[in-house]
């Protein structure tokens, strides 16, 4: 199975972005040739037994009674052979082959991606018709599923068949197909959709993230407070006399707005904020902190071994901002780069496995060694 290449058919990533992204749903049959599940149903069930991994089982009976159970699960026998689906969040944080499913979507920047959720559904299993606030690509793995996707429709009624399950009323599908292994479905936000499994089937959902303005403002305010910034007071030395003292004048209003916006205009602070905010993971992951700190001499020993490579932990969020200054952001932390550390920083940002040979070519100076030991000691990269 070659995950690098997505068979776009008559389309291309450019056409997709122009005509479909955030606009229209799309089904690409056989987008991946010879697709094989990146994780088995048994392994998925194993992840759902872990307390730190978010998982749910959604089931429905003949009388349309919906049930939602939250993991960790101890055993699955009570659920029987049909009418249920197991959903596990951020499987890419625990399964490297599943993380590799993100590669074909790298025509959209990493920071827009949230996670790969994997579902295992038995015959007639599904989560019902619903809306998501985020874009999603669904790769059909093994088995067959009947997928229906509609256009946004404000006449749909919101339903709550269970306190933890939001659904919508029946919709008119614009896509109505049976998906098979390797088919790819794209669903923009707020498009009603419903997938009913025909047989035991596995779906991989590449979910995107889009911050709300409320979230950005509240996190920005938290960062100002954490850094004791924005404590200065509004001042108005040019104030003219007023004889309408009950008014907040348009000028006052504008001056207060400009006073608030000054905070956003401190470019390097804003850059720190946005890079840290966008690379913060939202799901548990396996940070591999070494038992003993790696110092410079230990790093020199490691670098003398040709067989070793440096790997980022699976599912890590990494990004680079290359503007007035260059900063590498990893899991909500920032690492300021300069001309000497930029080449290594770029390799780290690309999250490729790095051989000791490649590192030696880059890490000859102290600053590079410090950057590397720092990401190793924080458990973001590990020695393989």
**Which residues from 101-140 bind ligand SIN, rule CB under 6 A?**
119, 126-127, 132, 136, 138
# of chain residues touching Co ion (CB under 5 A): 1
185 touches ligand SIN (CB under 6 A): no
Cα atoms found within 13 Å of the Cα of residue 98, Cβ hemisphere only: 32
Cβ closer to ligand SIN: 85 or 93? 85
Question: For ligand SIN, which residue has the nearest CB?
Answer: 119
SS3 readout for the chain: CCCCCCCCCCCCHHHHHHHCCCCCCEEECCCCCCCCCCCCHHHHHHHCCCCCCCEEEEEECCCCCEEEEECCCCCCHHHCCCCEEEEECCHHHCCHHHHHHHHHHCCCCHHHEEEEEEEEECCCCCCCCECCCCCEEEEECCCCEEEEEECCCCCCCEEEEECCEEEECCCCEEEEEEECCCCEEEECCCCCEEEEECCCEEEEEEEECCCCHHHHHHHHHHHHHHCCCCCCCCCCCCCCCCCCCCCCCHHHHHHHHHHHHHHHCCHHHHHHHHHHHHHCCCCCCCCCCCCCCCCHHHHHHHHCCCCCEEEECCCCCEEEEECCCEEEEECCEEEEECCCCHHHHHHHHHCCCEEHHHHHHHCCCHHHHHHHHHHHHCCCEEEC
The single residue among 38, 203, 327, 351 that binds ligand SIN, judged by CB under 6 A, is 203
From the list Co ion, ligand SIN, none, partner contacted by residue 145 (C-beta under 5 to 8 A by kind)? none
Question: For Co ion, which residue has the nearest CB?
Answer: 132
The single residue among 43, 50, 69, 132 that binds Co ion, judged by CB under 5 A, is 132
Q: How far is the CB of 136 from ligand SIN (least distance, A)?
A: 5
Cβ closer to ligand SIN: 148 or 356? 148
Cβ closer to ligand SIN: 193 or 223? 193
Cβ closer to ligand SIN: 27 or 299? 27
From the list ligand SIN, Co ion, none, partner contacted by residue 38 (C-beta under 5 to 8 A by kind)? none
From the list Co ion, ligand SIN, none, partner contacted by residue 205 (C-beta under 5 to 8 A by kind)? ligand SIN
DSSP for 325-355 reads: SEEEEETTEEEEE-TTTHHHHHHHHHT--EE
CA torsion 380-108-28-126 (nearest 10°) is 50
- Residue 260 sits at φ, ψ, to 5 deg, of -70, -45
# of chain residues touching ligand SIN (CB under 6 A): 11
From the list ligand SIN, Co ion, none, partner contacted by residue 124 (C-beta under 5 to 8 A by kind)? none
Cβ closer to ligand SIN: 126 or 315? 126
Cβ closer to ligand SIN: 188 or 315? 188
193 touches ligand SIN (CB under 6 A): yes
The single residue among 195, 275, 315, 345 that binds ligand SIN, judged by CB under 6 A, is 195
Q: How far is the CB of 102 from ligand SIN (least distance, A)?
A: 16
190 touches Co ion (CB under 5 A): no
Cβ closer to ligand SIN: 64 or 226? 64
85 touches ligand SIN (CB under 6 A): yes
Cβ closer to Co ion: 102 or 375? 102
Asked if 357 and 306 count as a contact pair (C-beta separation under 8 A), the reply is yes
Cβ closer to Co ion: 132 or 358? 132
Q: How far is the CB of 137 from ligand SIN (least distance, A)?
A: 10
Site of interaction with ligand SIN (CB under 6 A): 85, 119, 126-127, 132, 136, 138, 193, 195, 203, 205
Binding-site ranges for Co ion (CB under 5 A): 132
């Amino acid at each position: 199975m070659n995950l690098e290449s997505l068979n776009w058919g008559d389309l291309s990533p450019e056409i997709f972005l122009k005509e479909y992204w955030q606009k229209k749903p799309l089904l690409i049959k056989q987008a991946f040739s010879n697709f094989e599940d990146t994780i088995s149903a048994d392994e998925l069930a194993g992840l759902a037994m872990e307390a730190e991994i978010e998982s749910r089982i959604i089931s429905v009976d003949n009388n349309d009674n919906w049930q939602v159970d939250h993991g960790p699960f101890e055993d699955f026998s009570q659920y029987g052979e049909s009418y249920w689906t197991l959903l596990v969040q951020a499987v890419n944080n625990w399964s490297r082959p599943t993380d590799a499913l993100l590669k074909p979507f790298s025509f959209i920047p990493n920071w827009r991606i949230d996670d790969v959720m994997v579902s295992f559904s038995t015959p007639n299993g599904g989560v019902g018709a619903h809306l998501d606030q985020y874009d999603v690509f669904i790769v059909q793995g093994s088995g067959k599923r009947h997928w229906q996707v509609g256009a946004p429709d404000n006449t749909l009624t919101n339903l709550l068949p269970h306190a933890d399950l939001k659904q919508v009323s029946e919709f008119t599908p614009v896509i109505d197909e049976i998906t098979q292994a390797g088919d790819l479905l794209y669903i923009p936000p707020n498009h009603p959709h419903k997938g009913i499994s025909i047989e035991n089937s596995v779906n991989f959902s590449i979910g995107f993230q889009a911050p709300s303005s409320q979230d950005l403002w509240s996190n920005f305010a938290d960062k100002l407070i954490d850094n004791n910034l924005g404590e200065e007071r509004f001042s108005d030395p040019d104030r003219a006399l007023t004889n309408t003292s009950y008014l907040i004048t348009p000028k006052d209003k504008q001056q207060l707005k400009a006073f608030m916006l000054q905070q956003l205009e401190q470019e390097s602070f804003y850059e720190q904020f946005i890079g840290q905010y966008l690379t913060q993971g939202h799901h548990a992951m396996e940070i591999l902190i070494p038992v003993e700190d790696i110092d410079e001499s230990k790093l020199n020993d490691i670098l003398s071994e040709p067989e070793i490579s440096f790997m980022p932990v699976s599912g890590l969020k990494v990004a680079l901002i290359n503007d007035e200054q260059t900063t590498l952001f990893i899991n909500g932390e920032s690492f300021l780069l300069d001309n000497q550390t930029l080449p290594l920083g770029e390799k780290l940002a690309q999250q490729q496995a790095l051989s000791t040979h490649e590192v030696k070519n880059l890490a000859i100076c102290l600053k590079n060694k410090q950057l590397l030991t720092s990401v190793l000691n924080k458990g973001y990269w590990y020695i393989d």
